[in-house]
Structure 1
Amino acid sequence: MNTPSEDYHALLARHDAMRLRRRILAPADTRTDRWTAEAPRAYDGTADQLLISDALPLVAPMEELIADLYRVLFERHPYLRALFPESMAFQQDHLASIFHYLIGNLHHTDELIRVFGQLGRDHRKLGVRPAQFGAFEEALIEALRLRAGIRWTGALEDAWLRMLHLAVSAMVRGADEAIAEPPSWEATVTSHELRAPGLAVLRVRPHQPYTFAAGQYASLESPLLEQAWRPYYLARAPHPDGELEFHVRARGAGGVSDALVHGTRTGGTVRLGAPRGALALPDHLLSADLLLIASGTGWAPMKALLQRIDADRSGVHRVRLLLGHGGPGRAGEEMYDAAGLEAFRRNRPWLTVVTADAGGARFEDTGARSPARQHAFVALSPEAAGTTGAGPEQEVVARLAAAGIPQTHLHLDTAGRGTVTGRSASTTRTGLLSA
């Protein structure tokens, strides 16, 4: 028997299929699909940015504004509560981050359109429909009015609405452009292996074809925590058998990672979002000098990239893999996939493996003869810690730059960091309406 969530997503899939069929069959000048979005229009948001920023104390703190927003939303539209995970704390924190990001970047509206277009594509897996953004807008305005009281003005309301319309129209447009793509993929767990305490290697087989590139990541949902998603790197290059591999470390917080490590068994199911990420290897770099830097479960995308490189025999590869441990307290831990790495390294003279502390490695000593020509790919475990107070990726980027590698040759994304940035707009449980 299907769960209500499974029935809902099956209904959405049929609805999107009918929309796509109507779009294909209808002449271009007569298509009247109610939810076909017009292209979002960028505008000079500097004035709105200043107005909203100056008046933020009227509705602060942001966390209480968000709490009021969801209270109003669920009181007016109780059915929307099912689109969210049971605990709202994570979602509320991320929505607050999104509003700060919107306000802080309203003078770069072209970039906002790109970022929120990606968010719209990713929101399809959550079951969000364009009409539901109207309910969100009404709840936001009501929450703003309640918090500001008599100090609320029509000019402020118009500025917030323009900002919201920019983001929402980009999301609706992004979702509309991805209508031919499944909103999500059901997959069967074909293997679940504990490699270390709290760390599992999962193999899954999607029920439909799943096209991705080595180095990308996918968001996963466990049936134990419906509507809660977390991104994980794909640890295997595309293979004819269609199986995908993920490396998951439990965090002890009762979230998606814990459910996948401790509550998932062979024969179970998971749901996948569309592949995303900035670590895919372009064809023109297959014969370039490469530096791969990973720690902890950041080894997963590097494993996929090495398989991709190995499958291409057209170039002469010089690849160095700098492999660190998974974070504080793990310096003495053996790499959880050491046997697989050692087997791969044999008879591949183009690969050099350097084992180092992820926070203290000297990148200038990795043996690179010409840093200016190298391309570096970086994926650090979420548990890795920087030594300067900066984020671990930022610290690595600074050290690579100091070693002579140009900024344009650095490849990384922030999968799993839980923030909305220009580099990663598809992080887990992030969005204007749903988690």
Structure 2
Amino acid sequence: MNTPSEDYHALLARHDAMRLRRRILSPTGTDDGARRAEAPQAYDGTADQQLILDCLPLVGPLEGLIDDLYRALFERHPYLRSLFPESMAFQQAHLVEIFRHLIGNLHRTDDMIGRFTQLGRDHRKLGVRPAHFEAFEAALLEALRMRAGARWTAPLGDAWLRMLRLAVSAMVKGADEAIAEPPSWHATVTAHEFRAPGLAVLRVRPHQPYAFTAGQYASLESPLLEQAWRPYYLARAPHPDGELEFHVRARGAGGVSDVLVHHTREGDTVRLGAPRGRLALPAHTPSADVLLIASGTGWAAMKALLQQIDAERSRAFRVRLLLDGGADEGMYDVAYLDSLRRGRTWLTVLPSTGPLTDQELRAMCGVPGRGSGNLVRQQVFLALAPEVSAPDATGVFADRLASAGVPAGCVHHDSTSSVPVTGPGREAVAGALEPAVTEVTPRTTRTGLLSA
């Protein structure tokens, strides 16, 4: 049951949301009653995108703009600092990527609304409320004016505000729609085992029911690094005992993964964000050919999918698994995989023999030859562990599959990179936001799977 204080703050948050939404929908951004009665104007993202890109050199680079934004935000509102992790490095880099994505894809308004609606749902676990967006907006304008100096213009400010309010209105909507869903779940670590140097398998038991689908991921927070969250695949299909499994590899000292691997033990607590992801099996397909491609801890997602397939005997899946541990890291959880494939004729584990050529990719994915008239009927699921040289290894590999002729609708993956820029002004967008928004080309990583 909520306390009177909690109910009061919930009412304040809802009031803030309603007031902010009225401001966003108003053509002038005011809270004037006459303006509220008018229908909101159709938003032309392409026009604002071009204006922002033309003037980006005045306020760029984005890294510097974000530094000044946070400086202004915390100077004006010191209490907001508690909503962020102690180290701001990851948060600042994340916001730079969000701005690149937003600017680079502003002409795709519907896609942006969908992405930021989801972002609003996820931000609830950070304690973000609608009033905080107003403070963020003011800090952004201050940073933009400071960096542009005498060359600042009102039309440029209006373009940035319209872009920001498009994103914020979607985030407020997403948070409002998720009111019945907890913003986060507390969980107790029930097991912590090292499976390789710097790699641990954690079992956790949420304190409340946690509904998810095999193939999804969840963000984790440790009390040792408050407000720092990192996503990890759930390595176990839903089970009656309610326990969840995560595979975590430490990538460097001081991060969330390092804390979970080296400074977390049985009995400790963690916090979970809501499950997310696009690796779920087709819901209504009675049978299918499935190709699972994973490297490193991407195996966690495939492990959960295989458990679900094994449990759904009514659906005749034919599955091939290509698993690569990486030249420097090697395989882990081998005993489980060996026991899983024994007696399961529907599962074939493909040998990992090194870099795949485009021709081998086409053959593996069942892409028909020219003039054959056949269609690709196979569903491909990707989960490649990020590498230093290719932080979005999965997205890069997905682009290789597309180039090889695999239809986008047959490829399922969770990519952390920006959506590629398409449509009018593509060259201008790519040039202004280099290097984040560019034509994706194959890159070599330690997994060896991405090399052409």
User: What TM-score do the two structures reach when normalised by structure 1?
Assistant: 0.83
The CA distance in 1 between the partners of 2:378 and 2:222, in whole Å, is 39
Q: Any conservation in 2 of the 1:193–1:202 contact (CA below 8 Å)?
A: yes
Partner of 2:214: 214
Partner of 1:4: none
Q: Any conservation in 1 of the 2:184–2:271 contact (CA below 8 Å)?
A: yes
Asked whether 1:379 is paired with 2:380, we answer no
Asked whether 1:397 is paired with 2:398, we answer yes
Instruction: Return 5+ residue gaps in structure 2 as ranges.
Output: 26-39, 369-374, 421-452
**1:114-263 to 2 correspondences below 5 Å:** 114-263=114-263
Q: Any conservation in 2 of the 1:189–1:205 contact (CA below 8 Å)?
A: yes
Partner of 1:265: 265
Q: Secondary structure of 2:224's match?
A: coil
Partner of 2:17: 35
**Aligned CA distance change for structure 1 residues 137 and 404 (closer, same or farther; 3 Å):** closer
The AA in structure 2 aligned to 1:278 is R
- 1:404: how far off? 5.5
Q: Deviations over 1:127-147 (max 9, x none)?
A: 101101111111111111111
The AA in structure 1 aligned to 2:340 is F
The CA distance in 2 between the partners of 1:340 and 1:260, in whole Å, is 22
Asked whether 1:329 is paired with 2:328, we answer yes
- 1:273: how far off? 0.4
**Aligned CA distance change for structure 1 residues 13 and 211 (closer, same or farther; 3 Å):** farther
- 1:396: how far off? 3.2
Q: Deviations over 1:68-115 (max 9, x none)?
A: 111111111000001111111221222122222222222111111111
Partner of 1:7: none
Q: Any conservation in 2 of the 1:323–1:358 contact (CA below 8 Å)?
A: no
The CA distance in 2 between the partners of 1:75 and 1:384, in whole Å, is 34
**Aligned CA distance change for structure 1 residues 225 and 404 (closer, same or farther; 3 Å):** same
The CA distance in 2 between the partners of 1:288 and 1:14, in whole Å, is 49
Q: Any conservation in 2 of the 1:248–1:257 contact (CA below 8 Å)?
A: yes
**Aligned CA distance change for structure 1 residues 191 and 308 (closer, same or farther; 3 Å):** same
- 1:363: how far off? 3.7
The CA distance in 2 between the partners of 1:338 and 1:293, in whole Å, is 16
Partner of 2:407: 406
The CA distance in 1 between the partners of 2:117 and 2:86, in whole Å, is 27
Q: Any conservation in 1 of the 2:385–2:394 contact (CA below 8 Å)?
A: no
Q: Any conservation in 2 of the 1:301–1:379 contact (CA below 8 Å)?
A: yes
**Aligned CA distance change for structure 1 residues 397 and 108 (closer, same or farther; 3 Å):** closer
Q: Any conservation in 2 of the 1:295–1:381 contact (CA below 8 Å)?
A: yes
Q: Secondary structure of 2:211's match?
A: coil
Q: Deviations over 1:204-233 (max 9, x none)?
A: 000000000000000001111111110000
Q: Secondary structure of 2:212's match?
A: coil
RMSD of equivalent CA atoms: 2.9
The CA distance in 2 between the partners of 1:368 and 1:298, in whole Å, is 23
Structure possessing the higher relative contact order (Cα contacts under 8 Å, 6 or more residues apart) = 1
Q: Secondary structure of 2:215's match?
A: coil
The AA in structure 2 aligned to 1:320 is R
The CA distance in 1 between the partners of 2:364 and 2:53, in whole Å, is 46
Q: Secondary structure of 1:191's match?
A: strand
Q: Any conservation in 2 of the 1:298–1:379 contact (CA below 8 Å)?
A: yes
- 1:406: how far off? 2.7
Q: Any conservation in 1 of the 2:319–2:346 contact (CA below 8 Å)?
A: yes
- 1:352: how far off? 0.6
Q: Deviations over 1:359-381 (max 9, x none)?
A: 43734565969871111111111
**Aligned CA distance change for structure 1 residues 143 and 391 (closer, same or farther; 3 Å):** closer
- 1:49: how far off? 1.4
The CA distance in 2 between the partners of 1:338 and 1:216, in whole Å, is 22
Q: Deviations over 1:131-178 (max 9, x none)?
A: 011111111111111111121111111111111111111111111100
Q: Any conservation in 2 of the 1:320–1:366 contact (CA below 8 Å)?
A: no
The CA distance in 1 between the partners of 2:82 and 2:405, in whole Å, is 51
> How many correspondences in the alignment?
394
Q: Any conservation in 1 of the 2:72–2:143 contact (CA below 8 Å)?
A: yes
The CA distance in 2 between the partners of 1:65 and 1:186, in whole Å, is 35
The CA distance in 2 between the partners of 1:382 and 1:197, in whole Å, is 17
Q: Any conservation in 1 of the 2:189–2:266 contact (CA below 8 Å)?
A: yes
Partner of 1:112: 112
Partner of 1:355: 351
- 1:46: how far off? 1.7
The CA distance in 2 between the partners of 1:139 and 1:94, in whole Å, is 17
Q: Any conservation in 2 of the 1:373–1:405 contact (CA below 8 Å)?
A: no
Q: Any conservation in 1 of the 2:291–2:365 contact (CA below 8 Å)?
A: no
- 1:294: how far off? 0.8
Q: Which moved more, 1:223-232 or 1:352-361?
A: 352-361
The CA distance in 2 between the partners of 1:70 and 1:308, in whole Å, is 44
Q: Secondary structure of 1:166's match?
A: helix
- 1:407: how far off? 2.5
